[in-house]
């Protein structure tokens, strides 16, 4: 999973601020226009619109390469390749988003929706999140069964706030009725995932985290605000 929280006190404080429902960062009245009544809105145009509201944009091929290099530099280890990010983006049209400041990529967030077979692979503990089987990835006009968040990386606090806000709002406004998975790559990331972002640990899989469907739009966002307060 992509994750960068190497400065937990300062960085997490900016993220917590972005998660406050009643702050300037989260105008619930304005956000309500994005709420999907089914909680399964996989329309790429709507996903991209929510992302744009949060200050991130759909990544071009060049921005994917730049964002992946940022992840490799700041996280290290086995990070999903730019080729894989691009392959998923080409299928979904709404999976990889970036923050661009001063002519360079300063933040990236990435996720994708899954077919039923993909969710089953996660449930069975056999889903490879770095070398993804593209047959598991949802296609536009299909009904998604769930999702996986590769996560985010950022080089400054402002970009971190934007990518986390986008990740959370897309889920809570459009995809709140779907389950999902992510991985915690660091202790700091785990603290955020199992705290404000509302994931729960998966038994016998120490780095894997699961998100359960909500009963209504923004339910998890309000919980995140309470956890952050």
- What is the model's pLDDT at position 24? 41
- What is the model's pLDDT at position 223? 61
DSSP E strand stretches across 116-213? 146-154, 180-183, 200-202, 205-211
Q: How far apart, in Å, do the first and last CA atoms of the chain sit?
A: 26
Q: Which of 10, 1, 2, 5 has its CA nearest to residue 189?
A: 5
Taken in order 156, 217, 201, 92, the sign of the CA dihedral is negative
Q: At what angle do helices 44-53 and 157-169 cross, to 10 degrees?
A: 140
Burial class (CB in 10 A: 0-12, 13-18, 19+), 46: middle
**Tell me: domain 8-228, CATH 3.40.630.30, correct?**
yes
Task: Tell me the pLDDT of the chain (229 aa) as tens digits.
Answer: 454 433 344 544 444 455 444 444 457 778 889 999 999 999 999 999 999 999 999 999 999 999 999 999 988 778 999 999 999 999 999 999 999 999 999 999 999 999 999 999 999 999 999 999 999 999 999 999 999 999 889 999 999 999 999 999 999 999 999 999 998 876 767 788 888 788 999 998 888 999 999 999 999 776 655 544 4
- What is the model's pLDDT at position 7? 38
Do residues 140 and 44 lie in contact, with contact meaning Cβ atoms separated by under 8 Å? yes
- What is the model's pLDDT at position 221? 76
pTM: 0.86
Domain boundaries, the chain: 8-228
**What count of Cα atoms within 13 Å lies in the side-chain half-sphere of residue 106?**
15
């Amino acid at each position: 999973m992509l994750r960068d929280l190497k400065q937990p006190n300062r960085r997490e404080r900016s993220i917590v601020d972005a998660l406050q429902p009643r702050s300037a960062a989260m105008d619930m009245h304005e956000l309500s226009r994005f709420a999907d009544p089914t909680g399964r809105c996989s329309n790429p145009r709507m996903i991209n619109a929510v992302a744009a509201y949060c200050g991130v944009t759909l990544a071009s091929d060049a921005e994917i390469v730049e964002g992946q290099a940022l992840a490799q530099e700041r996280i290290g280890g086995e990070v999903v390749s730019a080729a894989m990010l691009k392959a998923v983006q080409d299928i979904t049209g709404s999976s990889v988003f970036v923050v661009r400041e001063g002519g360079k990529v300063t933040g990236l967030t990435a996720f994708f929706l899954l077919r039923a077979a993909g969710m089953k692979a996660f449930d069975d503990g056999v889903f490879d999140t770095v070398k993804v089987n593209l047959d598991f990835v949802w296609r536009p006009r299909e009904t998604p069964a769930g999702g996986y968040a590769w996560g985010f990386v950022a080089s400054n606090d402002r970009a971190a706030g934007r990518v986390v806000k986008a990740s959370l709002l897309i889920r809570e406004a459009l995809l709140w009725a779907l389950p999902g998975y992510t991985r915690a790559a660091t202790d700091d990331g785990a603290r955020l995932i199992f705290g404000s972002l509302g994931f729960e640990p998966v038994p016998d899989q120490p780095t894997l985290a699961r998100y359960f469907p909500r009963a209504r739009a923004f339910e998890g966002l309000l919980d995140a605000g309470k956890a952050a307060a």
